[in-house]
Amino acid sequence: MGHGGDAIAELMTDHREVDEMFARIQAMPGGGQELRDVVDEVTIELVRHSVAEEEYLYPAVRQHVEGGDEIADREIADHGRVERLLKDLEKTDTDDPRTGPLLQQLVQEVTAHIQDEEQNLFPMLRQACTADALNDLGDKIRRAKSMAPTRPHPSAPNTPPANKILAPGAGLVDRARDLITGRGKS
């Protein structure tokens, strides 16, 4: 959940964890509980990561990177598509024939998003911000991830200030549900 380092190091470590989860999903021969557990794990990670980016990374991009508003809006739109896919996966049994295509689309969307951030956004942000600013941003991102929801909420606000106000409450409810159901404990 929290890895340390500046914002870019934190988020890139998240990216590698998601890549590893996708590899585990793609190596699975079928559905069942094992697949559900990994889909839940990747959902938790992607939702926390997205919420933290929307609360802190994209506002910093808007403030510090030339053309930042357009970039942030595009990244948030990517998150919206991914969150809708995650919601569809949450409602779909892993043995359902729709699960495979949904997972394939999720992997494609997230992989393209990760590549865009790492090849374009992160280098621009590193050039535009001081090391101290990126370290501070990393701390904020880690705090946001620790309080973020763990389930997709496609209708929730995705820009400040509303997302910063509502996300911790949704996160509390999600974590309580996860505790009761055992979701995310494998």
Residue 1 lies in a domain: no
**What is the span of the domain harbouring residue 135?**
7-181
157 is a domain residue: yes
Instruction: Supply the CATH number for residue 174's domain.
Output: 1.20.120
Query: CB–CB of 127/141 below 8 Å?
Result: no
The number of angstroms, rounded, from the C-alpha of 27 to the middle of its chain's C-alpha atoms is: 22
Report if residue 2 sits inside a domain: no
The per-residue pLDDT for range 129-165, each reduced to its tens digit, is: 999 999 999 999 999 999 998 888 887 777 776 676 7
Lookup result for tokens 């808007």: 62
Residue 99 in domain: yes
pTM: 0.92
186: in domain: no
User: Cα–Cα distance between 110 and 39 in angstroms, integer?
Assistant: 14
Does residue 74 sit within a domain?
yes
CA distance 58 to 81: 17
pLDDT for 178 equals: 73
Are the beta carbons of 73 and 134 closer than 8 angstroms?
no
pLDDT tens-digit series, residues 73-102? 999 999 999 999 999 999 999 999 999 999
Domain assignment of residue 155, yes or no: yes
How many domains is the chain partitioned into structurally?
A: 1
